[in-house]
């Protein structure tokens, strides 16, 4: 059975000039099953309010994962994750661009060879070559856009995709 609330290794450190570093919720684990009631008890600074704020997305944590109804909260993403995703997207787009350039070279070369074989190479006007280049550019742009959209959908993750499916369906 999926827990209604699952917290694994929650960590949060507050930094201040006066009191230095202060840890709240250091490695906290918690699971709440359907029908259970839990309370937060502990001394000042133990992380009770920080845990609730983190669940609401009001505070970014230093570590750990939280899931409500089996779904991860995308509001808790960190800029580091976005940099990693941007690097992966850049690599995917560079790969698709390389493949498109190779196909365009083969396509243009085949077009040139067929025209030369037929003896019609001199009859091809600059407009034909321009049309050929524009068609290739459109195909490349479409392939890059499809790659970016597919990557974005795949990066959302299965839990968020499930939530979107529940919301849409």
pLDDT at site 8: 82
User: Which of 136-157 are b and which e, b meaning 16 or more Cβ less than 10 Å from the residue's Cβ?
Assistant: beeebeebeeebeeeeeeeeee
Whether residue 155 contacts residue 85, with contact meaning beta carbons closer than 8 Å, is answered with yes
- Sign of the alpha-carbon dihedral angle for 143, 145, 147, 149: negative
What is the structure's pLDDT at 76? 55
Per-residue pLDDT, 29: 84
Single pTM value for the model: 0.49
């Amino acid at each position: 059975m999926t827990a209604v609330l699952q917290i694994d290794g929650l960590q949060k450190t507050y930094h201040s000039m006066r009191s230095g570093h202060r840890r709240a919720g250091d490695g906290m684990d918690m699971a709440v099953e359907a029908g259970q009631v839990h309370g937060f008890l502990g001394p000042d600074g133990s992380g009770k309010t920080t845990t609730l704020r983190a669940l609401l997305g009001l505070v970014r944590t230093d570590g750990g994962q939280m899931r409500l109804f089996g779904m991860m909260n995308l509001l808790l993403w960190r800029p580091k994750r976005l940099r990693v995703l941007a690097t992966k997207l850049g690599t995917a787009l560079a790969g698709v661009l390389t493949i498109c350039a190779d196909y365009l070279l083969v396509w243009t070369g085949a077009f040139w060879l067929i025209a030369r074989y037929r003896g019609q190479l001199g009859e091809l006007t600059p407009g034909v070559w321009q049309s050929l280049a524009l068609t290739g550019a459109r195909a490349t742009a479409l392939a890059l856009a499809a790659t970016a959209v597919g990557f974005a959908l795949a990066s959302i993750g299965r839990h968020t995709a499930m939530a979107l499916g529940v919301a849409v369906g």
